[in-house]
Amino acid sequence: MSTQPPPHDTAPAVSAIVGSMTEGPLWGLNVVVYVICARILLSKSSGQQGISFFLIATLQILVSTGHIVVILLFLLQGFINHGSSPESVNAFFVNSATPVYCAELILCLVNTYMADAIMGWRCYVVWGRNKWMGLFFVVTILSTAACGFYAVALDRNQKSIIDIFRSVKFVIPAFTLSLTTQVFATALIAGRIWYSRSLTTKKDQMFIFWMIVESGAILTACSACILTLFLLHFNAGLIVNEISTQLSCFVPMSILVRVAIKRNQRSQRYRLKDADMINLHNRVRTLTSSQPESLESGQLSGTPFTLSVKTTNETKSSVLGTTDILDVSHV
């Protein structure tokens, strides 16, 4: 970040301290969500896909933990090794060519791109696995990763102090492509959720909350804030960047937990339906054996009746076509 902050901006050292203090509690929240995620995804009802989701969540929490460690090393080096004057401290925190700064950026980028991939996957699934939509997200995510990692490699190869605001050749395209991916995914997921809401009369007081969670709107807003502050050369962007690193772990895990919960609820609902079908079949057999003549005429004890049975597969097709449009039963 800039050593000469714009008016009303914070110094680079202050931004680094506040960013780390903000990131710590968010990391603790991620650990809690990860434990909940593991409990749900490793249950028998989650199946093989639950294990895959758990491995993704594990990788993200490891990257988030590594980022916390690197940030602490970043602070120690800045204030202990370069603490002779405020100018030297601030110069260290804006030098994007140092190994610790590059490590911090790489971990941040890895978490961000994994979050982009999960949001793109979620959008691809809820929109019926549209191949063009899937291709769009693959291209944007790979392009974003190429720009981001290449920018870090260029900075690392510099032998002099590099102000992060001056290394814009590939940083701005990386930020822009990532934000584009998140904006499209958020808008399309939210639109699909809203559309599915119009197909059911079920009352859900948590509808808006879950729409924000599943669409990744929080992460998208944070990324937009980072890009804006970067373009304005505000050092405060470092604070938001640390927050974004942990949100890039929190948002995808929340999406995975939400998907797993809905899958488990649907499976439980179908198991209950199967049990009801068995009970109904046994009752019909009992009635048939006790009063065959009445059943042949369509009556039981003088009362007309009509028996209509829908199979489990028919029930699944009906439900998935309307109210369970957000479930990933076909994944």
Q: Tell me: the pLDDT tens digits for 114-128?
A: 999 999 998 998 888
CA atoms of 17 and 89, how far apart (whole Å): 12
Who wins on pLDDT, 156 or 189? Answer: 189
CA atoms of 312 and 222, how far apart (whole Å): 44
The SS3 assignment for 289 reads helix
Q: E-assigned strands of the chain?
A: 299-300, 303-304
What distance lies between CA 12 and its chain's CA centroid? 29
User: What distances in angstroms separate CA 188 from CA 66, 110, 162, 224, one per listed residue?
Assistant: 32, 23, 38, 17
Tokens representing residue 75 in the block? 């602070």
CB atoms within 10 A of CB 154: 16
- Residue 310 domain flag: no
DSSP codes, 81-132: ISTTSHHHHHHHHHBTTSHHHHHHHHHHHHHHHHHHHHHHHHHHHHTT--HH
Phi first, then psi: give them for residue 313, nearest 5 degrees: -65, -40
- Residue 289 domain flag: no
Q: What would you report as the CA-atom Rg of the chain, rounded to the nearest whole angstrom?
A: 27
- Residue 5 domain flag: no
**In the chain, % of residues over pLDDT 70:** 68
- Residue 167 domain flag: yes
Q: Residue 141: what pLDDT?
A: 93
CA atoms of 303 and 116, how far apart (whole Å): 61
CA atoms of 67 and 250, how far apart (whole Å): 14
Residue whose tokens read 């509808």 = 207
62-66, 105-109, 249-253, 283-287: segment of lowest average pLDDT: 283-287
5-14, 65-74, 157-166: segment of lowest average pLDDT: 157-166
What CA dihedral angle connects 308, 320, 253 and 236, to 10 degrees? -140
- Residue 6 domain flag: no
Greatest mean pLDDT among 96-110, 151-165, 188-202, 265-279? 96-110
Q: Is residue 18 exposed (0-12), middle (13-18) or buried (19+ Cβ within 10 Å)?
A: middle
Q: Residue 329: what pLDDT?
A: 36
b/e burial code for range 87-126 (CB count within 10 A of at least 16 → b):
eebbbbbbbbbbebbbbbbbbbbbbbbbbbbbbbbbbbbb
For residue 278, pLDDT beyond 70: no
The candidate with the shortest Cα–Cα distance to 121, out of 213, 214, 191, 220, is 214
CA atoms of 185 and 117, how far apart (whole Å): 10
For residue 66, pLDDT beyond 90: yes
CA atoms of 277 and 323, how far apart (whole Å): 21
Average pLDDT, rounded, for the chain = 77
pLDDT tens per residue across span 293-318: 544 444 544 445 444 444 444 444 33
- Residue 111 domain flag: yes
For residue 202, pLDDT beyond 80: no
- Residue 307 domain flag: no
The residues that bridge with 300 in the sheet, in sequence order, are: 303
Q: Residue 159: what pLDDT?
A: 59
Report the CATH number that the domain containing residue 91 is assigned in CATH. Answer: 1.20.1070
For residue 85, pLDDT beyond 70: yes
Assign 40 a pLDDT band (cuts: 50, 70, 90). Answer: confident
Q: How many domains does the chain have?
A: 1
Residue 53, domain extent: 12-269
Assign 157 a pLDDT band (cuts: 50, 70, 90). Answer: confident
Assign 64 a pLDDT band (cuts: 50, 70, 90). Answer: very high
pLDDT tens per residue across span 135-147: 999 999 999 999 8
Residue whose tokens read 């696995």 = 129
User: What distances in angstroms separate CA 272 from CA 269, 279, 283, one per listed residue?
Assistant: 5, 11, 17
Contact call for residues 97 and 158 (beta carbons, < 8 A): yes
H helices of 42-85, in order, are: 47-76
Query: For residue 302, what are the contacts with CB-CB under 8 A and spacing of at least 6?
Result: none
Tell me which DSSP letter residue 9 carries: P
pLDDT tens per residue across span 235-263: 888 899 899 999 999 988 888 887 777 77
- Residue 134 domain flag: yes
